[in-house]
Amino acid sequence: MISLRSFRGYLVDVQIDVKERWYFFPIPYLKPIDRNLQTWADKGYSLDRINFGAKLNYYNTTGRNDVLKLWLITGYSRQIQASYNQPFMDGSLKSGYGISFNYSAMKEVNPRTVDNQQFFLRADSIPKASRFLEETMTGSLQWNYRPGLKTRHVLRAGFGMSKIDSAVWEVNNNYISKSGKTHVLYPELSYSMSFLDVDYAAYPLRGFMADIQLLRRGLGADVGMWMLNLKTTKAWEIGNKASFSSQLTSTIRLPFKQPFNQHRLMGYGDFYLRGLEKYVIDGVLGGMTRNTIRREVLNFSVPLPIRSQSHDRVPFRIYAKTYADLGYSYSKYFRENTLNNKLLTTAGAGIDIVTLYDLVLRFEYSFNQLGQNGFFFHVKNDF
């Protein structure tokens, strides 16, 4: 809140009152290992597929906007992740650095895609298999450069290691290596640039933002790939409390012949069409566009029962929306999957709820070109 306190000739006293976010987040972790809630539902909401643990996020650790994260997760799989990012390491407030380490061990591996569905192997169903079918380890150092408020550059150097059980190799001997190995170690170098000029990064209603990344992974016959990723979002206000946004995401991986685990594309992470969440479309070249019209229908806040100087109320903004998506994924190695090498279209309508700490809840009813329709639920946050 900004207020004028007093006037003295040409001088004005301005008072700015702010409410800071919490810095320290010890967060319990409970999440299915599946790609999204829809694929977990297809597994019958099995509690055996749950990971649990704790995430420790410590923001503004030393008072210089630095972030320390430690994740300890176990259950169906195991993950240990630690990272530290210091955006301001000198007086110019433009340069910074970061360091990260990640280890994961999986009891279940997806070595093939059949009919655009993941085919899984489970360690407990294979005689004499190791406890974990796949183990991965990564580490990196990065240098950050922020010449202005809207642009950031990141140069990252690191390594990766992957190891699979022989049972995985027997199903797909090119799962992690083009030369058929069960253990690979490779260097990785990447450059990324981000541009941010929107009203609210977690849910933009006005402005433009973009991310571009160029990555080199590996050097030899086992692992060797160039990858270029691009993601842009443009949002316009189109009337009273209404806006239109268009998001474009694309990627290319060269050469096109890559290990299976480098072909994962559409259906993983945030790279999916709304209405095709149940499917995966592997590829080394692909793109999609999401187009959404939304309008704010409610805006209110709820008082907290516990008194707090920083957060005495929880805000809620609710939007009604309609959308249409378009996408394509190319691969000459997975032609038996009918959604590959084909223009894909989806559409639908839904409700978004935006609340505290950039939490966005999305309730969507979507249709796809296969004649299928259904309800889908997504949660997006920075935790």
Under the banding of pLDDT at 50, 70 and 90, the label for residue 125 is confident
What pLDDT, on a 0 to 100 scale, did the predictor assign at position 383?
A: 44
pLDDT at 346 over 60: yes
Tokens for 352? 């978004």
Average pLDDT, stretch 157-173?
Answer: 96
Helix, strand, or coil (residue 271): strand
Average pLDDT, stretch 162-174?
Answer: 94
SS (H, E, C) 62-123: CCCCCEEEEEEEEECEEEEEEEEEECCCCCCCCEEEEEEEEEEEECEEEEEEECCEEEEEEH
**38 backbone dihedrals φ, ψ, rounded to 5°:** -70, -45
Single out the residue of 166, 69, 175, 64 nearest to residue 119, CA to CA.
175
**171 backbone dihedrals φ, ψ, rounded to 5°:** -80, -40
What pLDDT, on a 0 to 100 scale, did the predictor assign at position 333?
A: 80
Average pLDDT, stretch 140-150?
Answer: 96
pLDDT at 133 over 70: yes
What pLDDT, on a 0 to 100 scale, did the predictor assign at position 15?
A: 83
Q: pLDDT (tens digit, 9 = 90+) per residue, 229-249?
A: 999 999 999 988 999 999 999
- Specify the range with the lowest mean pLDDT, choosing from 124-138, 158-172, 271-285, 308-322: 308-322
Q: pLDDT (tens digit, 9 = 90+) per residue, 96-106?
A: 999 999 999 99
What pLDDT, on a 0 to 100 scale, did the predictor assign at position 310?
A: 65
Under the banding of pLDDT at 50, 70 and 90, the label for residue 117 is very high
pLDDT at 80 over 90: yes
Tokens for 380? 């997006």
Average pLDDT, stretch 21-25?
Answer: 75
Interstrand relation of 225-239 and 242-254 (parallel, antiparallel or unpaired): antiparallel
pTM: 0.90
**Mean pLDDT, the chain, as a whole number?**
92
Q: Parse the chain into domains and list their residue ranges.
A: 263-383
What pLDDT, on a 0 to 100 scale, did the predictor assign at position 308?
A: 67
Contacts of 243 (CB under 8 A, 6+ apart): 205, 206, 235, 236, 237, 293, 294, 295
Name the DSSP letter for residue 261: G
What pLDDT, on a 0 to 100 scale, did the predictor assign at position 309?
A: 64
Report whether 112 contacts 119 (CB < 8 A).
yes
Under the banding of pLDDT at 50, 70 and 90, the label for residue 311 is confident
Name the DSSP letter for residue 168: H
Q: pLDDT (tens digit, 9 = 90+) per residue, 251-273?
A: 999 999 999 999 999 999 999 99
Q: pLDDT (tens digit, 9 = 90+) per residue, 170-228?
A: 999 999 999 999 999 999 999 999 999 999 999 999 999 999 999 999 998 899 999 99
